[in-house]
Amino acid sequence: MSSLLLNLDFGEPPPKKALEGNAKHRSFVKRRRLLERKGFLNKKNQPPSKAPKLHADPPKKGEAPKVDGAWQIPSLPRKKTGAPSTGAEQPLGKKAAVSWLTPAPSKKADAIAAQVDLLGEFQSALPKIKSHPTRPQKKGSQKSAAPTPAQAHSENKLSRAAQKAPSKMVAIDCEMVGTGPKGHVSSLARCSIVNYDGDVLYDEYILPPCRIVDYRTRWSGIRKQHMLHATPFKTARSQILKILAGKIVVGHAIHNDFKALQYFHPKSLTRDTSHIPLLNRKADFPENATMSLKRLTKKLLDRDIQVGKSGHSSVEDAQATMELYKLIEVEWEQHLAQNPPKD
C-alpha cells in the first residue's frame, strides 16, 4: 500500500502578491489623505461635535472653514427645479451644523456660549413676519372725535351765553341797626344777595362788632332774637366779598350797603338804580331826582313792597332792584359802553 505524502507550506504568501496588496493599500491610504486635506472627506473616527466657541481660530491658508468642529464641504452645483427653494434646504454633501442637537458641554462657560449660539440660530431659523398695516378707524369713531358744524355752532352759542353779563351779575340789599352813641352809627345786621334770575345766593343775619343800641325794627325788620345765632361780622364780610368779586353788582343807593360792609366795589362793575336817568324817565319821574325803591317798584312793576309794621325784607328789595335794572339793561349798558365810568 503506497503512502501519500503531502508537502504543505504554511509560510508567507508569495512576495509578489504581498507586494501588490501592500501597494494597493498604500495607494488607497494616500488617496484618502489627499481627499481629506482637500476637504472632500471627513477625518476617520472623528469624535462627536461640540458646541461652537464664541471666538474660533481663523482657518489656515489652504484649509476649508470648520462648522461646529467639522470640516465644511463646499457645496456642489445643483440643477434648478420648478419647486421654490426655501431657507431650510441645504446643499448636497454639506454636513448640517445644528448646535442644539449636539450634547451639552461639560464646562459652564461652554454651556453659556452654546446657549447664546443656540438662541441666535433658532431666531434666525424662524420665518420673518411682516407687520400688518394699521386699519383705519371707522367712520363712526371719526364722527365722534370731530364735531359737526351744527354741534360746533351750538357749542359756540353756549360759550357766548356763558360769557354774558347775567351769569356774572348779582343784586344786593342790606339792613342796618344802630350802634355807637345814641345808635347813630349804621351797622350791618342782615345781607341778602340774589342772582340775575332772582334766586337767593346769600341771606344771613350778621352780628355787628359793636353793641346794638337801636334795632330799627320798623325799617330793618331786625329783632333781638335774630342776633342769637347771627354770623360774626368778619366771617360774614369774608363770605360776601367772595360772592361779589369780579361781578356786576346792582343795588339801590348801593353806596350805603358798601359802607356798612366797609368795602369799595369798582364803579365800572356797579349799577345803582337810584341814579339811572333812564329808569326815572321810564317811570315819568324827573331824571336827576333820587327816587325810592318803593315808588319805582310800584310805578314800573306794579308791586307793593316795604309795607306793614314788620319792616323791610332785604331779599324782596334785592329781587325788586334786579327787576328794575333789567327793564333798562340794554340801553343802560350801551350808554356805559360809550361813556365808561372812571374808578
Element housing 149 (H / E)? helix 149-162
259, 187 contact by CB (below 8 A)? no
Q: Based on the structure, what is the number of domains in the chain?
A: 1
What pLDDT is recorded for position 38?
A: 79
CATH number at residue 325: 3.30.420.10
Instruction: Name every residue whose Cβ is closer than 8 Å to that of residue 67 and which is 6 or more positions away in sequence.
Output: 52, 95, 97
What pLDDT is recorded for position 54?
A: 46
Cα–Cα distance list, 180 to 187, 208, 213, 226, 268 (Å): 9, 11, 7, 19, 33
Counting beta carbons within 10 angstroms of the beta carbon of residue 146, is it exposed (0 to 12), middle (13 to 18) or buried (19 or more)?
A: exposed
Q: pLDDT per residue over 299-323, tens digit each?
A: 999 999 988 777 789 999 999 999 9
Q: Average pLDDT for residues 105-131, to the nearest whole number?
A: 51
What pLDDT is recorded for position 166?
A: 59
**Range of the structural domain that residue 181 is part of:** 169-338
- Cα 256 from chain centre: 50
191, 315 contact by CB (below 8 A)? no
215, 223 contact by CB (below 8 A)? yes
91, 76 contact by CB (below 8 A)? yes
108, 51 contact by CB (below 8 A)? no
What pLDDT is recorded for position 55?
A: 47
Q: pLDDT per residue over 236-280, tens digit each?
A: 999 999 999 999 999 999 999 999 999 999 999 999 999 888 999
Which range is most confident: 28-32, 194-198, 302-306?
A: 194-198
Cα–Cα distance list, 343 to 113, 119, 251, 273, 340 (Å): 86, 82, 17, 18, 9
Q: Are strands 185-195 and 70-71 parallel, antiparallel or unpaired?
A: unpaired
Domain assignment present for residue 308? The answer is: yes
Domain assignment present for residue 105? The answer is: no
Domain assignment present for residue 161? The answer is: no
Q: pLDDT per residue over 279-295, tens digit each?
A: 999 999 998 889 999 99
- List phi, psi (to 5°) of 267: -65, -30
Q: Report the distance separating Cα 191 and Cα 257, nearest Å.
A: 9
C-alpha cell at 104: 451639552
Domain assignment present for residue 98? The answer is: no
Domain assignment present for residue 130? The answer is: no
Domain assignment present for residue 95? The answer is: no
What pLDDT is recorded for position 211?
A: 94
Domain assignment present for residue 47? The answer is: no
Count of C-beta atoms within a 10 Å radius of residue 321 = 26
Q: What percent of the chain has pLDDT over 70?
A: 57
Domain assignment present for residue 84? The answer is: no
- DSSP-derived secondary structure letter, 169: E
What pLDDT is recorded for position 24?
A: 81
